[in-house]
C-alpha cells in the first residue's frame, strides 16, 4: 500500500488536475497516446520499470505471505500482480490526461507492467532470502555484524548514485537550445572551476567511497574476520574503478584524475577506520573515550559547515524584500513539486533520483554522528528522548539552510530537501543505535558493549539478570562439614 501510494503521489505531482467528471475518466483512456519507442526517453522507461519492479516485488511478497508458496499460487500471484500494476498505471495515466503539465502515455503503462512482472519474478528467486536477511539484521546483537549488513545496504545506493549522475541525451538537448539562442545565460567557466567546487568534489568523492573501503575490509568474509589492509585496498579500488569504467562505457562522462585520486583516498580512509573500530568486550581508557567523543562532535560541526557551504555557495546574498517576495510566491509546500520540474524540464528523472538520494545521504551523518557521540542509553524512554532531540536539532538546521537559500539568486528553497534530509537523519540515528557502542565503566577504563536490538533482551541486560557468585559466596570446608552433620541428624 505504501509503494502504491508513493506511485500515485509521484505520478500526479503537482496536482494541477482540471475538474473531473466520472464519465470523462473513461474517455481519457482513449486520448492516451502510444508513442514510437524511438521517441521515448530511455531514462523515463528506466524509472517506470524501476517503479513497477518495486510494486511487483512487494505485492508478490504480500501475496505469498497470505496464500502460501505453492506453484499454482505463484502463477496466480504473477497474473494478479500484472493485472493490478497495469490497472494502477492505466488509472494514473488517465488522471494525468487532465493535467496541463503532465504527459500521459501507454508506453509508461507497458513499462510499469513489465517492471512489475520482473519484480514478481525477483521475489520468486530471492524473496525468502531477503526476508531472512532482514530478520537476521533486526535480531542481530553483534555490533560488527550489524555494521557489515549496513554496508551491504549502502552498496546498491552507491551504484545508483554513480550511475545516475548525468543524462547525456537531455544534456545534448540543452546544448542544442543554447546554440540556437533559446538559453541566454549560463554559469561562467571561472565559477564552475572555482577552488571551492574542486574541494567540494574531492571531499564528496572521498566520503562517498569511504564506506566502500570499509566494506572491502569487512565484507564477504566469515563472522569475526577482517581482510588484510593491502588486499582490502585492492578490492576497494577495484570496485570504485569498475564503476568508473562502467560510467565510461555507458557514456556518463569522462574519468578525471582528481576524482580517481579522491576515490582512492576515500577507500584508504574507510579501511583505516575499520582498523581503529573497537569491538564488544574490549576495554579502552577513559581518556581515550573522551577524545573519541570530542572528535565525533567536531566531525558533526564540520559536516554541518560543509552542508551550509554546499547549499549557500557562491554566498551572493541579496537581502532585499523584492527577492523574498518573488521567492515566496513561487515556493511550494507540496513535496517533490520542484523535483518534478527538475526531472521534466531541466535534466532527467534519473538526475532527479540522483539529487534526491544525494540529499538523503548528506543528512545521514547529522543523525549518525550525534548518536555515536552521545551513546545509547539503557532505558527505552531515554533512548526515545535522545532520538527526538537529535531529530529536532537536525531538522532545525536543515530548515535554516533552506531559508538561507531564499536570499540567494542562484539557489531556491525547497521543502522536499528538508523532508529527504529529515528521513536521512532518522536513518542515521537508526544506524547509530545499531552500531554505536554503549560505554560502561569498568574500573579505571571503559568497556564497549553492543547495543541491544529492538527485540529480546540485549547482552548487557541479560548479564545484569545473571547472578554472579563472588569469592565470599563460596562455602568454606568447615561450613560444608557442618551442613552435612546437620543434615544427617535431621
DSSP state string for 26-59: HHHHHH-----GGGS-HHHHHHHHHHHHHHHHHH
Per-residue pLDDT reduced to its tens digit, 43-93: 778 888 988 899 999 999 888 888 887 888 888 889 999 999 998 988 888
Alpha-carbon span 303 to 295, nearest angstrom: 12
> Do 95 and 240 fall within a single domain?
no
Number of domains in the chain: 3
Q: Which three cell numbers stand for residue 409?
A: 539568486
C-alpha cell at 372: 555515536
CB–CB of 94/29 below 8 Å?
Answer: yes
Q: Which of 279, 275, 278, 277 lies closest to 230, judged by CA?
A: 275
Read off the pLDDT of residues 383-392 as tens digits, 9 standing for 90 and up. 888 889 999 9
Cell numbers for 327, please give them: 521567492
Residue 305 — pLDDT band, cuts 50, 70, 90? very high
Amino acid 177: pLDDT: 42
Q: What pLDDT is recorded for position 418?
A: 92
Q: Is the pLDDT of residue 4 over 50?
A: yes
pLDDT of res. 319: 77
Q: What is the pLDDT of residue 169?
A: 40
Q: Is residue 472 part of a domain?
A: no
| End position of a domain, from candidates 238, 254, 277 | 277
Clarify whether residues 292 and 241 are in a common domain. Answer: no
Separation of alpha carbons 44 and 425, rounded Å: 29
* Residue 53 counted as domain residue: yes
Residues 211-235 pLDDT 10s: 999 999 988 888 777 889 999 999 9
CA atoms of 85 and 113, how far apart (whole Å): 6
% of the chain residues with pLDDT over 70: 71
Domain boundary among 130, 154, 182: 130
The reply to whether 474 falls in a domain is no
At residue 194 the predicted structure's pLDDT band, cuts being 50, 70 and 90, is low
More confident residue, 181 or 203: 203
Going by pLDDT thresholds of 50, 70 and 90, the confidence category of residue 10 is confident
Q: Report the CATH number that the domain containing residue 43 is assigned in CATH.
A: 1.20.1240
Between 352 and 23, name the one with better pLDDT: 352
Are residue 321 and residue 379 in the same domain, yes or no? Answer: yes
Task: Give the pLDDT band of residue 468 (cuts 50, 70, 90).
Answer: very low
Band (pLDDT 50/70/90 cuts) for residue 456 is very low
Q: Considering 209, 243, 277, which residue would you say is the last residue of a domain? A: 277
Q: What percent of the chain has pLDDT over 90?
A: 17
CA distance 351 to 161: 9
Which of the two residues, 160 and 190, has the higher pLDDT score?
A: 160
Tens of pLDDT, residue by residue over 246-285, are 877 766 555 567 778 889 999 999 999 887 665 544 545 6
d(CA 407, CA 319): 6
Q: What is the pLDDT of residues 385-435, one digit of tens each?
A: 888 999 999 999 999 998 888 888 777 788 888 999 999 999 988 888 766
* CA atoms of 420 and 438, how far apart (whole Å): 29
Q: What pLDDT shows up at residue 183? A: 37
Average confidence score pLDDT of the chain: 75
My answer on whether 292 and 356 are in the same domain is: yes
Is pLDDT of 25 > 70? no
Work out whether strand 438-442 and strand 283-285 pair parallel, antiparallel, or are unpaired: unpaired
Q: Are residues 264 and 287 in the same domain?
A: no
Quick one: cell of 365?
A: 551523518
Residue 171 has pLDDT above 90, yes or no: no
Looking at the domain assignment, is residue 400 inside a domain? yes
Do the beta carbons of residue 267 and residue 233 sit within 8 Å? yes
Is residue 272 domain-shared with residue 330, that is, in the same domain? no
**CB atoms closer than 10 angstroms to residue 265:** 16
pLDDT digit string (tens) for 128-137? 888 888 888 7
Paired residues of 442 in beta bridges: 445
The answer to whether residue 135 sits within a structural domain is no
Question: What are the φ and ψ backbone dihedral angles of 427, each rounded to 5 degrees?
Answer: -65, -40
Average pLDDT value for residue range 361-371:
91
79 inside domain? yes
The verdict on 9 and 103 lying in the same domain is yes
Whether residue 8 is found in the same domain as residue 105: yes
265, 308: one domain: no
Is residue 453 within 8 A of residue 140, CB to CB? The reply is yes
Same domain? For 419 and 287 the reply is yes
Q: Which residue has the higher pLDDT, 119 or 448?
A: 119
Specify the 3-state DSSP secondary structure of 404: helix
Q: In this structure, are 297 and 446 located in the same domain?
A: yes
**Higher-confidence position of 277 and 364:** 364
Cell 502510444, residue? 34
Report the C-alpha gap between 382 and 398 in whole angstroms.
24
Higher pLDDT, 459 or 130: 130
Question: Quick check: is 477 in a domain?
Answer: no
Q: Answer yes or no: are the C-beta atoms of 307 and 277 closer than 8 Å.
A: no
Residue 183 in domain: no
pLDDT digits (tens, 9 = 90+) for 107-118: 888 999 999 999
Distance CA 91, CA 417 (A): 29
Q: Tally the residues of the chain.
A: 490
Residue 258, C-alpha cell as written in the block: 582528481
SS3 percent helix, strand, coil of the chain, rounded to 5, is 75, 5, 25
Query: Residue 320 and residue 311: Cα distance in Å, rounded?
Result: 19
Does residue 169 sit in the same domain as residue 311? Answer: no
Residue 376: give the domain boundaries.
282-454
Amino acid at each position: 500500500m505504501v509503494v502504491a501510494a508513493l506511485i500515485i503521489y509521484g505520478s500526479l505531482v503537482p496536482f494541477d488536475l482540471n475538474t473531473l467528471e466520472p464519465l470523462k475518466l473513461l474517455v481519457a483512456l482513449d486520448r492516451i497516446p502510444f508513442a514510437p519507442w524511438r521517441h521515448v526517453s530511455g531514462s523515463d522507461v528506466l524509472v517506470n520499470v524501476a517503479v513497477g519492479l518495486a510494486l511487483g516485488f512487494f505485492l508478490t511478497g504480500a501475496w505469498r505471505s497470505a496464500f502460501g508458496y505453492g506453484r499454482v499460487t505463484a502463477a496466480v500471484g504473477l497474473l494478479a500482480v500484472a493485472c493490478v500494476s497495469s490497472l494502477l498505471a492505466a488509472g494514473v495515466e488517465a488522471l494525468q490526461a487532465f493535467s496541463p503539465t503532465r504527459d500521459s502515455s501507454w508506453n509508461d503503462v507497458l513499462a510499469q507492467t513489465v517492471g512489475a512482472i520482473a519484480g514478481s519474478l525477483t521475489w520468486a528467486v530471492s524473496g525468502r532470502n531477503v526476508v531472512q536477511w532482514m530478520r537476521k539484521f533486526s535480531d542481530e546483537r553483534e555490533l560488527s555484524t550489524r555494521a557489515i549488513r549496513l554496508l551491504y545496504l549502502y552498496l546498491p545506493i552507491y551504484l545508483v548514485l554513480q550511475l545516475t549522475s548525468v543524462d547525456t541525451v537531455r544534456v545534448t538537448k540543452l546544448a542544442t537550445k543554447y546554440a540556437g539562442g533559446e538559453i541566454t545565460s549560463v554559469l561562467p567557466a571561472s565559477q564552475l572551476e572555482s577552488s571551492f567546487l574542486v574541494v567540494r568534489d574531492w571531499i564528496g568523492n572521498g566520503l562517498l567511497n569511504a564506506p566502500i573501503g570499509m566494506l572491502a575490509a569487512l565484507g564477504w568474509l566469515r563472522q569475526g574476520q577482517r581482510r588484510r589492509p593491502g588486499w582490502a585496498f585492492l578490492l576497494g579500488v577495484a570496485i570504485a574503478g569498475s564503476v568508473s569504467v562502467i560510467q565510461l562505457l555507458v557514456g556518463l562522462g569522462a574519468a578525471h584524475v582528481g576524482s580517481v585520486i579522491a576515490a582512492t583516498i576515500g577507500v584508504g580512509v574507510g579501511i583505516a577506520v575499520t582498523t581503529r573500530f573497537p569491538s564488544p568486550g574490549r576495554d579502552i581508557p577513559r581518556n581515550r573515550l573522551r577524545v573519541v567523543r570530542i572528535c565525533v562532535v567536531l566531525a558533526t560541526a564540520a559536516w554541518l559547515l560543509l552542508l551550509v557551504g554546499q547549499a549557500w555557495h557562491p554566498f551572493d546574498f541579496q537581502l532585499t524584500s523584492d527577492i523574498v517576495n518573488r521567492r515566496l510566491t513561487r515556493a511550494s509546500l507540496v513535496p517533490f513539486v520542484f523535483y518534478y520540474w527538475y526531472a521534466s524540464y531541466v535534466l532527467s528523472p534519473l538526475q532527479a533520483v540522483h539529487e534526491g538520494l544525494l540529499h538523503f545521504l548528506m543528512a545521514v551523518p547529522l543523525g549518525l554522528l550525534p548518536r555515536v557521540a552521545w551513546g545509547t542509553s539503557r532505558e527505552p524512554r531515554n533512548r526515545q528522548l535522545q532520538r527526538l532531540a537529535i531529530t529536532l536539532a537536525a531538522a532545525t538546521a536543515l530548515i535554516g539552510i533552506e531559508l538561507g537559500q531564499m536570499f540567494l539568486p542562484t539557489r531556491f528553497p525547497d521543502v522536499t530537501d528538508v523532508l529527504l534530509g529529515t528521513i536521512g537523519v532518522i536513518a542515521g540515528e537508526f544506524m547509530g543505535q545499531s552500531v554505536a557502542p554503549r560505554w560502561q565503566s569498568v574500573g579505571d577504563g571503559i568497556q564497549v558493549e553492543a547495543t541491544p536490538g529492538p527485540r529480546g533482551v540485549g547482552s548487557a541486560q541479560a548479564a545484569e539478570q545473571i547472578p554472579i557468585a563472588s569469592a565470599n559466596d563460596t562455602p568454606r570446608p568447615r561450613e560444608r562439614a557442618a551442613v552435612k552433620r546437620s543434615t544427617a541428624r535431621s
